[in-house]
Structure 1
Amino acid sequence: MKLIIAIIQPSKLEAVKEALTEVEVFRLTVMDCQGFGRQKGQTEMYRGREFSTNLLRKVQLQIAVNDDFVEPTVNALVQGGRSGDKGEIGDGKIFILPMDDCIRIRTGERGSEAI
């Protein structure tokens, strides 16, 4: 079992959800977050004054999958989250973490059956 954490642009959320649905991944958690990487923030104008924001709005997805679903899930995230054919700085990151256990609260099922 793995926990996949993906950080993507908010505008790509619907495309990512569609791509995940195509590979039969239907369960995910979505959180708003802020951060920056190579793009180091951005400069904006507000009421005629220029100011810099070094934290950009992003969306974090958490998806718990069985080992057989790791590669299809990652491929769907890349397909739905990439800007254009080659992608752009700021498209996001995917982290894959080992998951020791999963417990469904309602039934008490554990492990891969609980996912």
Structure 2
Amino acid sequence: MKEIMAIVRMKKTGATKRALIEAGVAGFTAVKAVGRGKLLPHDEINVPCKEKLMGMAASDVIDRRESEEQVVTFLDDKRMFPRRLFTILAYDEDVPRIVEAIIRANRTERGAGDGKIFVTPVTDAVRVRTGESGDAAIW
């Protein structure tokens, strides 16, 4: 028995739910989370992002220097970003199929921030309603 924890973009919540259901997952938990991944010092990713954000800045509300400071703060390694954390318990043999479904639903062409998946062993599970334990408790 394994626990799969998947951290995904908030906008990918619906796609991830559909992918899990299509992969045959009987149940899962999803909670809001905030976090920070590795800062990518790649100009080919950061410069277009900075330009896009600067283009969205309201010049009639704040001046360009203040806008640029906010954008740089947003892109540096200090800000936490909203994410969704999915938790799934699965049989060992189902893990590759579930992980692949999560990857397909969340991979983008952005080059960063698509999420992380962690798979850990689970020693036991207990269904509260019936008292069943082990594999019987997860499906």
Q: Same fold (TM over 0.5)?
A: yes
Give the whole-Å Cα distance in 2 for the aligned partners of 1:108 and 1:71. 28
Give the whole-Å Cα distance in 1 for the aligned partners of 2:137 and 2:8. 26
Give the whole-Å Cα distance in 2 for the aligned partners of 1:21 and 1:88. 27
1:20-35 residue pairs with structure 2 within 5 A?
Answer: 20-35=20-35
Give the whole-Å Cα distance in 1 for the aligned partners of 2:34 and 2:12. 15
Report the secondary structure of 2:82's partner residue. Answer: strand
Matched, 1:62 2:84: no
**Highest CA radius of gyration, 1 or 2?**
2
Runs of at least 5 residues in structure 2 that lack an aligned partner in the other structure: 41-48
Q: Residue in 1 aligned with 2:102?
A: 77
Q: Residue in 1 aligned with 2:137?
A: 114
Given the two structures, how large is their TM-score scaled by the length of structure 2? 0.72
Q: Residue in 2 aligned with 1:103?
A: 126
Report the secondary structure of 1:74's partner residue. Answer: helix
Report the secondary structure of 2:14's partner residue. Answer: helix
Range 62-71 or range 42-51, more displaced: 42-51
Runs of at least 5 residues in structure 1 that lack an aligned partner in the other structure: none
Greater relative contact order (Cα < 8 A, sep 6+): 2
**What is the CA RMSD across the aligned residues, in angstroms?**
2.1
Please give the per-residue CA displacement for 1:15-53, whole angstroms capped at 9, x wherever unaligned: 11111111111311111111111247x987685244324
Range 101-110 or range 48-57, more displaced: 48-57
Given the two structures, how large is their TM-score scaled by the length of structure 1? 0.86
**How many pairs align?**
112
- Percent identity of the aligned residues? 34
Higher helix share: 2
Task: Kindly state the Cα deviation for residue 66 of structure 1 after the two structures are TM-superposed.
Answer: 1.0
Give the whole-Å Cα distance in 2 for the aligned partners of 1:14 and 1:26. 16
Higher strand share: 1
Q: Which 4+ runs in 1 deviate beyond 6 A?
A: none
